Amino acid sequence: MSLVRCFVAVDLEDPAIASKIAAVQEQLKGAGAKLKLVELENLHLTLRFIGEIPRDLIERVMEALRGVEFTPFTVHFVGLGAFPNPRRPRVIWVGVEEGSRELSELSAKVNSVLAKLKLPKPEEEFTPHLTIARVKSGVGSLPMLIEENKSLELGSMLVDRFRLKKSTLTSRGPIYETLFEVKARSV
């Protein structure tokens, strides 16, 4: 049986924010570490990583997600950070200031409808963030760059939908495809 790797996310669809992120990625490239930058069209806020599931479960996941109700809200992107921490960065991300509570609530709603399908719970607690680069090796001046940009303003966008995405891993990086979209209830 073929498995499909999927996740639930809010896509970054604001070209102005994406171009600011591209400028930040350029800076990171010059830091002397080996990085895999996230392609601008792949930038997203993960609400829930589901992982590999049998193809026949996807219909049920879509049906469950259809039951998630939320109203549109704004997210404001501010500052760089890193997991596990800026001194030993493995993942470099942009933080969410305004809207992080709403994102957490939306993630909790997604998790609660998916729990009914007996999908394993996420390992980590939800932290709203937008991954922009993964560190393959070395650190270079990344800790300094992250520190210098910890309050960098990147702009705001309206969240009025989220998507179930399929991720196909390739040697050049993942290819994402939208399987299903859930729109916010209009107020």
Give catalytic residues, as residue numbers. Answer: 44, 129
Element at 20 (helix H, strand E):
helix 15-29
| Residue matched to tokens 């399987």 | 179
Spatial separation of the C-alpha atoms in residues 23 and 3, rounded to whole Å:
36
Question: How many angstroms from the chain centroid is the CA of residue 10?
Answer: 7
Residue in 37, 60, 42 with CA at minimum distance from that of residue 50: 60
- Other beta carbons less than 10 A from residue 148's beta carbon: 12
Q: Measure CA of the first residue to CA of the last residue in the chain; give whole Å.
A: 42
